[in-house]
Structure 1
Amino acid sequence: MIRVLIADDQPLVRRGLALILSPDPDVEVVGEAGDGAEAVDLAARLRPEVVVMDIRMPVLDGVRATAELARVCPESRVLALSTFDMDEYVVAALRAGAHGFLPKDVSPEELMAAVRTVHTGEAVVAPRLLTRLISTYVRAPDPRSRPTDTAALPDGLTPRELEIWRLLARGLDNAEVARDLDISVSTVKNHITGIFGKLGVRDRAQAVIAAYERGLVEVERRTT
């Protein structure tokens, strides 16, 4: 069973999420919280594997609640939700330790799949959506400080790891990276594990954030 805690300040939304998740025989909704502080308190007592967390809540918002959960209840993985898919709070939540992000207008099937993915420890943010969010909200460094060779990068990344890290940051998923480099998906996964270890990050989301912040890839600003 996947034990799930739902945190949202709107009772109707909480009930809707529970009605979507509860019919699945592999899911047990163990509690509902109306704000971030209550979510942290309930998670500490109920020990859910997944917390479906609204980003914008009173008392303690979803970002700060995520950070607190990472400290007091690290086994609870946070799936952040937001009404807006281009929300600066999303990147903040990923930095704080959220394992993924979904906009609230996703289908029930997508929500259920995301809960399962987060439960396994994987990130659920779609690669291109993640790249779009980060390129919009993460501040790029001064171009003069941009690393030009592997010696300037953290913890001795190999040229191949650097290449894969750059492709991840541009929004490619594992299969696309494998096709681009003409290697197997399993080899890509092995390299990604090494990249995460050398960067000191937990997942793809944090690795992409690190790539933008270190200037490994250019921040593309869209015009409207």
Structure 2
Amino acid sequence: MKKIKVHIADDHKILIDGIIAVLSSEENIEVVGYSLTGKDVLNWFASNEADILILDINMPKVDGIGVLQNFLEQGFQQKVIVLSSYDETKLIKEVLKIGANGFLAKKCAGENIVEAINAVYNGKQYFSKSIQEKLLSTFTKQLTKSDLPSQDGSFFSSLTPREIEVLRLIAKQYNSKEISKLLHISVNTVETHRKNLISKLNVKNVVGLAIYAVKNNIV
């Protein structure tokens, strides 16, 4: 069994020890290192490898945002789950924009960390339930009727049956590879459908597609 290699970065050693204790019973996960400062994270990844970085935002020397920006600039391929005591929508949007693959509130870390690691490793984004509710609430409030037409609207009527199938699966958080297997089509075809949906429905990203699907009872 290939183990998921995890590095933990937080300025509180007691929290790191707690996460290590939780992960120690998981046969498919291995903690390969930890850092107490952002600078230590960058130094560690300069000569070591891990599949996933669990990253605190508030750290000395270089904060989590700085680490993410450095990863983006250097083209690092590691996936990142942000762990923070703060769950403001602005912060969540910022870390997603610069490359984070998931976001966990520290208060939920113990119960959600294993699920988050497995989801992110398999190509999905992961947010704890409270974060999902906050994001959905924020995006829904920002949308108007003109942004999000009903099922009788011209946008919805322009969708093909296959596009509706793809939209439904996207809203259920399946990635392109999983959708291709379920619908027996190529990954490239799924990506084409995704791009067409974003264009036809006049949304900016997958979050917009998911909200459209929920608001129009497609899921």
Unaligned runs of 5+ in 1: 151-156, 176-184, 200-205, 218-224
Structure 2 unpaired stretches of 5+: 175-180, 199-204, 214-219
User: Take 1:98 and 1:71, find their aligned partners in 2: how far apart are those partners?
Assistant: 13
Shift in Å, 1:131: 5.9
Note closer, same or farther for the CA distance 1:46–1:11 as it changes in structure 2 (3 Å cut): same
Displacement after TM superposition at 1:99 (Å) = 0.8
Quickly say closer, same or farther: Cα 1:30–1:147, change in 2 above 3 A: same
Q: 2:21 aligns with which of 19, 31, 37?
A: 19
Match of 1:9 in 2: 11
- Secondary structure of the 1:69 match is helix
- Count of equivalent residues: 193
Matching of residue 173 in structure 1 with residue 184 in structure 2: no
Pair 101,10 (structure 1): closer, same or farther in 2 beyond 3 Å: same
Give per-residue Cα distances to partners, 1:106-140, cap 9 Å, x unaligned: 26342112111111121112588436326538995
User: Deviations along 1:89-119, whole A, 9 cap, x unmatched?
Assistant: 1221111111111111226342112111111
Alpha-carbon spacing, 1:87–1:8, altered in 2? closer, same or farther (3 Å): farther
- Asked if the contact 2:104–2:131 (Cα under 8 Å) also holds between the matched residues in 1, the reply is no
Q: How many angstroms apart in 2 are the aligned matches of 1:166 and 1:26?
A: 30
Q: Which has the larger radius of gyration?
A: 2
**Deviations along 1:168-198, whole A, 9 cap, x unmatched?**
6xxx5259xxxxxxxxx934x9786445556
Aligned in 2, Cα 1:109/1:147: closer, same or farther, shift over 3 Å?
closer
Q: Tell me if 1:207 matches 2:206.
A: yes
2:37 matched to 1:35?
Answer: yes
* Aligned counterparts of 1:116 and 1:123: Cα–Cα separation in 2: 10
Letter in 2 for 1:23: S
CA distance in structure 2 between the partners assigned to 1:126 and 1:186 by the alignment:
26
Counterparts in 2 of 1:56 and 1:196: CA distance versus 1, 3 Å: farther
Give the partner amino acid of 1:132.
K
Deviation readout 1:139-185 (Å, 9 max, x if unpaired): 959x7x959876xxxxxx956658976996xxx5259xxxxxxxxx9
In structure 2, C-alpha distance between the alignment counterparts of 1:21 and 1:63, rounded to whole Å:
25
SS in 2 for 1:78: strand
Secondary structure of 1:16's aligned partner: helix
What do you get for the CA RMSD once the two structures are aligned? 4.2
TM-score, normalised by the number of residues in structure 1: 0.64
CA contact (8 A) 2:83 2:104 kept: yes
Match of 2:127 in 1: 125
Counterpart CA distance in 1 for 2:10 and 2:37 is: 6
| CA gap 1:41/1:134 in 2 versus in 1, 3 angstroms | farther
Give the aligned residue type for 2:124: E
Q: Does 1:59 align with 2:61?
A: yes
**Higher relative contact order, structure no. (Cα contacts within 8 Å, ≥ 6 residues apart):** 1
Alignment partner of 1:186 out of 179, 182, 205: 182
Counterpart Cα distance in 2 of 1:41 and 1:128: 33
Deviations 1:48-80 (A, max 9, x none): 000001122232221231232233253210011
Counterpart residue identity of residue 206, structure 2 = A
TM superposition score normalised by structure 2: 0.65
Letter of the structure 2 residue corresponding to residue 82 of structure 1: S
Going from structure 1 to structure 2, the CA distance change for 1:193 and 1:115 (only over 3 Å counts) comes to same
